[in-house]
Structure 1
Amino acid sequence: MTPLLRFYSVQDAYGEFSNFAPYPVFLDKKRWPTSEHYFQAQKFLDPKVQERVRCASTPLLAARLGRDRRQKLRADWESVKVSVMRRAVEAKFRQHDDLAKLLLSTADAPLIEHTDTDSFWGDGGDGSGKNMLGRILMDVRTILQTERRP
């Protein structure tokens, strides 16, 4: 059985898989400092709020701005958040060949965002979470594997 590959902190092994990792993405005709900046900004329809998130000095600040409920969330957020995350993650790994190689090097290992602070995107710390970020990474890996086969 293939061992689980857990990631979370940018400083740890496979920290590049974190949305906080410093790899800019180009989406919607703009440069986003991290996939976290892009994801958090998409929670809002107001271009000024999106731009404030995009220009946040760190991904942690972008995340805080994205969680600020004084700003009006887009009405369809719950139904589109997974597709928004998938778009950000796929762009990150397509736009950075070193990241694509790293992701492909994991072969068929289960990828787990290991954190007790998130049971939707992560594993909830005890494996009971949905691990949606890990699932998206594995989906992107499968796409890249298929595209790169001779």
Structure 2
Amino acid sequence: MAITNFRGDYKFLSNFFKCEIEYEDDVYPSVEHAFQAAKTINENERKRILSNKNPVIAKRIGRKVKLRSDWEEVKYNIMYQLVLQKFKNNELSRLLLDTGNNEIIEENKWHDKYWGKCICKKCNGDGKNNLGLILQKVRDEIDEKSG
């Protein structure tokens, strides 16, 4: 059975889930905050993201920052490192392991075909699902270490 929504029992899979994430000497309240801050090298833009506790607002701010020149090349690895850091927390790693071998799919309706799969009528499930694949990779790595 695939896990397709990051709410309810699976809200911990969401990048909006509250957990401390360190990125370049700052501690952010979620993976989403740290990821949005990583998009820019501008300290003022990063501070603006950090100062807002709501991950929805952090994402909104992150859409308007001046992107670092290498963003397209580094964004996957940054997301992987942030998600890996999140699941170093024992409770969260246990919850992730409890998902078993289920496929994890970041379904959305906002046409994000890079991090997820868009399930709107037009896109019909099209997408790379990179966030889901990263979560599965991190789960496998935790399982190898604990096994």
- Normalising to structure 1: TM-score of the pair? 0.89
Q: Within the alignment, does 1:77 sit opposite 2:71 as a pair?
A: yes
SS state at 1:7 partner: coil
User: Percent sequence identity over matched residues?
Assistant: 35
1:40 pairs, out of 16, 19, 36, with 36
Does residue 132 of the first structure (1) align with residue 130 of the second (2)?
yes
Distance 1:138 1:115 in 2: 18
Matching residue's letter, 1:138: Q
Offset of residue 28 of structure 1: 2.6
Q: Per the alignment, in what secondary structure is the counterpart of residue 13 of structure 1?
A: helix
| 1:22 matched to 2:18 | yes
State the 1:72 CA deviation.
1.7
Structure 2 residue 93 is matched with structure 1 residue 107: no
RMSD: 1.2
Unaligned residue ranges in structure 1 (runs of 5+): none
TM value normalised by structure 2: 0.91
Residues of 1 paired with 2:125 and 2:95: CA distance? 24
Alpha-carbon distance, 1:107 to partner: 1.5
Regions of 4+ moved over 2 Å: 26-30
Given that 1:8 and 1:115 are in contact with CA atoms closer than 8 Å, whether structure 2 keeps it comes out as: no
Q: What amino acid sits opposite 1:59 in the alignment?
A: P
**Total equivalences in the alignment:** 142
1:119 aligns with: 113
